[in-house]
Amino acid sequence: MYLNNNEAYKNFIALLNSEIFIDKSMILKILNKRIHTTNRFICITRPRRFGKSEITNLIESYYSKALDTNSIFDTLNISEENCYTEHLNKYNIIKVDFSIKKETSEDYTSYINRIINGISDDLLLAYPEVDCAKCETLSSKLVATKDEFVFIFDEWDYIFNKGIYLNYHEDFLDFLRVLLKGRSYVSLCYMTGILPIKKHSSGSALNMFEEYTLLDDGVFEEFFGFTEQEVRSLCQQNKMGYNELAYWYNGYKMESGLKIFNPRSVNLAIMKKKCKSYWVNTGAMNEVLEYLEIDPMGVRDDIVRMVNHEEIEIEDIEEFRAGQGIPQTKEEIYSAMITLGFLTYSDGLLSIPNKELMGEFEKALKDKSFSGEFDIFKESRLMLQATLSRDTETMAKILHNIHNREISLYDYNHENGLSSVVSLAYLSARSKYIIKKEEHTGKGRADFIFHPLTSRYIPIIIELKRGKGTQTAIDQIINQEYTTTLFDRSKRNILIVGIDYTEGKDHTCHVMELEYRRGINEV
């Protein structure tokens, strides 16, 4: 059934009964203002796993006149609003999930006719007084009912995203246009998917829609994904540390400055009491590998820098839209990665959102197709081993190799050049440490502090110098009391590392272990 189905209600009840539930019902306050207005056509696009389908279930459960959900919504935030009862269970719902296909293969005509015929059959049952035989089109049948409907379309972009029915993409857009545009029977149309609507050179078939994307929203941002405040509350309820969850799953930056967590991964981490990668969208990562193989104008170099926790400055990122085809330019590739949820973009700066996605890019760069990038990861594993064993000769050799290979990325004449190469040398250490650059500690800021994720690894402080010698770096760590806070937190020994680069003499390293003494090292 497509008309007044109760499947969404069942799914919404299952969500309400789950151990982890975040009340997103205030989205209804915004939608209620759009009903019966020229702004009633809404298209919201987000990457997978951002709770889009869950929101469609909430919306249908609220508006559907085939349901009585008063007792449920009375407990949610929307019940405090003046508009609450005016629209509760007042509308016929036509819900279509465009990702649902037959188990066997079907061509486009069968696919779209199955949807049209399904809605037509539902209308025939609900409106027996309407002579559907006289109505040639679905829209004419809807007009004949003399009724109004709320349309909810989930995964509207399915055939574009999956690259199927390529010769019928324009026909599909025209189907939506004829069904919706200028139709008085549309009280509200809420459409969601991954890809924004395709733009035609001669205008848009669906230009009545207002679009809200990762790059351009400002209205619906807080309803897709979990906000920092929501995750803090979940952490308190479930006795989990907020900082670790934020390190793994936070970092999607919205236009307003709001930061959003990946909700599915937060759910799983809290349920399993363990932070790790729960990313399962391997198909999308295969697409990213294809983009990296195209590599126009140094995309791979930029990805290496972002894996190294740097932000890339880039202007004029435009939306990657349905039907656009394989991206070719640097800007198109970044736009596609943002749309798929692999990168985040704010204030002209592009970055990898969090530890979970960082791991996916590291896997991608370790692919056999990228031998140069794989060498970086191999050397970075050796760098941590050499540091922990105080093998300063190997440390200096690795820094020399990375410096020479990545000189196009990091110019040592730039003040951050040495810092960037050292950060790259410890790339693999990020699986064992939270690495903070320029963190305030003691009487100043340390260049690097390595906070171990488990008790198996010793904390590390690194100070860098240019042409002043490693002893100067070691003395600064001690004299500026950089170790005080770390001793207080970890209550164990600390490695301190001095690294110096002198032009013409290359890199030198010095490693010392400072002993923790209770009552002496503490504040």
Segment 426-478, tens digit of pLDDT: 988 888 888 988 899 999 999 999 999 888 899 999 999 988 999 999 999 99
Q: Taking residues 307-333, what's their average pLDDT?
A: 79
| Tokens encoding 98 | 């465009």
33 and 79: one domain? yes
Looking at per-residue confidence, does 406 or 270 come out higher?
A: 270
CA distance linking residue 477 with residue 461, whole number of Å: 8
Half-sphere exposure of 315 (CA within 13 A, CB side): 0
Mean pLDDT score, 165-186: 94
Residue 248 included in any domain: yes
Sign of CA dihedral 291, 297, 194, 342: positive
Instruction: Indicate the pLDDT class of residue 73, thresholds 50, 70 and 90.
Output: very high
C-alpha–C-alpha distance, residues 102 and 110, integer Å: 10
The predicted structure's pLDDT at residue 388: 95
In a domain, 171, yes or no: yes
Q: Is 211 helix (H, G, I), strand (E, B) or coil?
A: strand
Q: Which residue has the higher pLDDT, 1 or 517?
A: 517
Which tokens sit at 209? 């829609």
pLDDT in tens, 287-307: 777 767 766 677 877 888 888
Determine the average pLDDT of the residues in 155-173: 92
Where a domain ends, among 212, 231, 254? 212
Residues 140 and 265 in one domain: no
The count of structural domains within the chain is 4
Answer yes or no: is pLDDT of 415 > 70. no
Mean pLDDT over residues 25-51, rounded?
96
E strand or H helix that includes residue 111: helix 108-126
Beta-carbon-side half-sphere exposure of residue 320 (alpha carbons within 13 Å): 24
Residue 404 has pLDDT above 90, yes or no: no
Residues in contact with 282: Cβ distance below 8 Å, sequence separation at least 6, in sequence order: none
Q: Are residues 49 and 131 in the same domain?
A: yes
Among the residue ranges 119-128, 355-364, 452-461, the one predicted with the least confidence is: 355-364
Q: Residue 203 pLDDT more than 60?
A: no
On whether residue 522 sits in a domain, the answer given is no
The per-residue pLDDT for 309 is 80
pLDDT band at 523 (very low <50, low <70, confident <90, very high): very low
End-to-end CA distance of the chain: 67
- The whole-number pLDDT of residue 367 equals 66
Band of pLDDT at residue 378, cut at 50, 70 and 90: confident
Looking at residues 208-227, what average pLDDT do you find? 94
Rg (CA), the chain: 28
Which pLDDT belongs to residue 282? Answer: 52
Q: Is residue 206 part of a domain?
A: yes
Which tokens is 84 given?
């609450």
Q: Which of 312, 343, 365 finishes a domain?
A: 365
Residue 331 has pLDDT above 90, yes or no: no
Kindly indicate the confidence band of residue 410, based on its pLDDT and cuts at 50, 70 and 90.
low
Domain that holds residue 36: 7-212
Answer yes or no: is 374 within a domain: no
Find the range with the poorest average confidence among 130-139, 320-329, 492-501, 502-511.
320-329
In terms of domains, do 144 and 250 share one? no
- Say if 105 falls within a structural domain: yes
Q: pLDDT-derived band of residue 27, with 50, 70 and 90 as boundaries? A: very high
Where does a domain end: 300, 333, 365?
Answer: 365
Q: How much is the mean pLDDT over the chain?
A: 88
Q: Using pLDDT thresholds of 50, 70 and 90, give the confidence band for residue 333.
A: confident
Do 385 and 495 belong to one domain? Answer: yes
- Report the distance separating Cα 92 and Cα 148, nearest Å: 7
**What's the pLDDT score for residue 473?**
95
Residue 156 lies in a domain: yes
Q: What is the C-alpha separation between 195 and 198, in angstroms, rounded?
A: 8
Is 349 inside any structural domain? yes
Q: Quick one: 21 and 168 in the same domain? A: yes
For residue 215, give both structure tokens: 């790059």
Whether residues 267 and 289 fall in one domain:
no
279 band by pLDDT with thresholds 50, 70 and 90: confident
Residues 51, 178, single domain; the answer is: yes
CATH number of the domain where residue 32 is located: 3.40.50
Domain CATH code at residue 386: 3.40.1350
Is residue 519's pLDDT more than 60? no
Residue type at 157?
D
Looking at the structure, tell me whether residues 507 and 453 fall in a common domain: yes
Question: Tell me, what's the pLDDT at 118?
Answer: 95
pLDDT for 412: 56
Q: Are residues 41 and 190 in the same domain?
A: yes
Q: What is the DSSP string of 66-90?
A: T---HHHHTTSGGGGSTTHHHHTT-
Of all residues in the chain, what percent carry a pLDDT higher than 90? 59
- Length reported for the chain: 523
Higher pLDDT: 381 or 181? It is: 181
| pLDDT at residue 520, as a whole number | 46
CATH of the domain at 295: 1.10.10
Contact 251, 353 (CB under 8 A): yes
Q: In whole angstroms, how far apart are CA 87 and each of 30, 403, 439, 472?
A: 12, 64, 52, 70
* Shared-domain flag, residues 46 and 121: yes
What is the mean pLDDT of the segment spanning 351-380? Answer: 77
Q: Say whether both 432 and 491 belong to one domain.
A: yes
Q: 200: pLDDT confidence band, cut at 50, 70 and 90?
A: very low
pLDDT, average across residues 245-262: 91
Least confident residue range of 225-229, 244-248, 255-259, 292-296: 292-296
